Amino acid sequence: MFNKGTRGDDRPLIATPIQSSGNGKRGQFSVLGADLTITGNVSATAELHLEGRIEGDVDCGTLLQGAESQIVGNVRAESARLAGSIEGTVRVRQLTVERTARITGDVEYENITMENGGHIDGRLKHMSRTVSVSAPATSLDPTPVAPAGDLLTPNFGQSSAA
């Protein structure tokens, strides 16, 4: 079975993706074991299970961080379950901070769940669900748009007599 990396003929073994029951893209996930240290940025389109150490930025669909793992760099993901230590900025839409997690840096999130004992040494910032690209410019002029007696309509400040 594990005979010199071959199947009994001269074709090399090819690793096939492991199917995940999570929401990762294409049903795949990658595992970085506890004995692994990576120096450099890590990017994954699906789930990333981290038990080792990364010295660089992490960008993935879903991050599952083990309690003994370390990240020295920024983290960006759609969802994350953090249990280890992070030194850097965290930007995650669906964030769970477990009781063993230690984050040193600012955290930007859409939804956050934090277990008792989880530690964040930095600023928390809620990111809005939708960002309007074509929002009209607002005026800093404090003068009223319509006289106080006029009825305001959904035309954003224009009176009904117009």
pLDDT at 66: 97
Q: Could you write out the three-class secondary structure of 61-102?
A: EEEEECCCCEEECCEEEEEEEECCEEECCEEEEEEEECCCCE
pLDDT at 27: 64
Query: Going by C-beta distance under 8 Å and a sequence separation of 6 or more, which residues neighbour residue 20?
Result: 27, 28, 29, 46, 47
pLDDT at 79: 97
Question: pLDDT per residue over 133-142, tens digit each?
Answer: 444 444 444 5
State what percent of residues in the chain have pLDDT above 90. 59
Give me the mean pLDDT over the 117-143 stretch. 69
Question: pLDDT per residue over 31-86, tens digit each?
Answer: 999 999 999 999 998 899 999 999 999 999 999 999 999 999 999 999 999 999 99
Domain count, the chain: 1
User: Residue 154 pLDDT more than 90?
Assistant: no
* Position 142 in a domain: no
* Position 15 in a domain: no
* Position 147 in a domain: no
Amino acid (one-letter) located at 146: A
Domain around 89: 49-126
pLDDT at 138: 46
* Position 18 in a domain: no
* Position 4 in a domain: no
